[in-house]
A and B are shown apart, each in its own frame.
Chain A
Amino acid sequence: SYELTQSPSVSVSPGQTASITCSGDKLGDKYASWYQQKPGQSPVLVIYQHKKRPSGIPERFSGSTSGNTATLTISGTQALDEGDYYCQAWDSTTVVFGGGTKLTVL
């Protein structure tokens, strides 16, 4: 079965750039998307189709993909960006989520 691998945690200082990665076989050939989830809330789509940003998502969120790795980049990270981030992709007949990355802003 297809798997997406994320690092469990990433820490960043306010104002710095945070990079969260998601790895999977030939992920660059699939449509990767990213979700932000804060405690007690539903996930929110922040990047889709590798690099597109939904309306209402700040420009500091960006996405890229190269080979087997998709990267979510948060530029000028703010305290309110703290939370869990999940990647998602479609493989053949299944929706797959990565295990999630906890972003800490300190």
Chain B
Amino acid sequence: QLQLQESGPGLVKPSETLSLICTVSGASISSSSYYWGWIRQPPGKGLEWIGSIYYSGSTYYNPSLKSRVTISLDTSKNQFSLKLSSVTAADTAVYYCARHDYYGAGITQTDYWGQGTLVTVSS
């Protein structure tokens, strides 16, 4: 059974960089059938896609966050990571890592989600 687990600091100071890791078990992130992504949800609000990465390292990012986001892979550890720079209170959210199905021309559904981790931006 595929499982995704987010890890990282729960508190980040304004202007610093938020860093999270997603550890995948039960499947290889080197599969050509999937993208691996990050999605966030501010308290009481809806879902916002941050970005996704393919096993080749190819990435797609939300245009509204692109200047601050880096997503990368560590295939040796079956992990992928998120870095979001220059954070503000508006970046406070539950951050989910997830798996997207990929059909060659783009991403379709998001079929597996991690449990999510709350990251608070505060001094």
List A residues at the B interface (Cβ < 8 Å).
Answer: 1, 31, 33, 35, 42-45, 48-49, 54, 84, 86, 88, 90, 92-100
B26, CB-defined interface residue at 8 Å: no
Sampled A-B contacts (24; CB under 8 Å): A1-B63, A31-B109, A33-B108, A42-B96, A42-B114, A43-B113, A44-B113, A48-B109, A48-B111, A49-B108, A49-B109, A86-B47, A88-B110, A90-B107, A92-B106, A93-B60, A95-B52, A95-B100, A95-B110, A97-B39, A97-B47, A97-B48, A97-B49, A100-B46
A-contact 0/1 string along B28-64, CB 8 Å cutoff: 0000000001010000001111001000000010111
Q: A86-B47, A94-B60 are in contact. Are A33 and B103 (CB under 8 A)?
A: no
Provide the bound-state CA to CA distance between A43 and B49, in Å.
13
In the bound complex, residues from chain A placing their C-beta under 8 Å from that of B114 are 42
Interface size on B, residues (CB 8 A): 25
Given A42-B115, A86-B46; 16 other pairs, CB 8 A cutoff: A33-B109, A45-B109, A45-B111, A48-B101, A48-B108, A48-B109, A54-B111, A88-B109, A90-B106, A94-B49, A95-B52, A95-B60, A95-B62, A99-B46, A100-B46, A100-B47
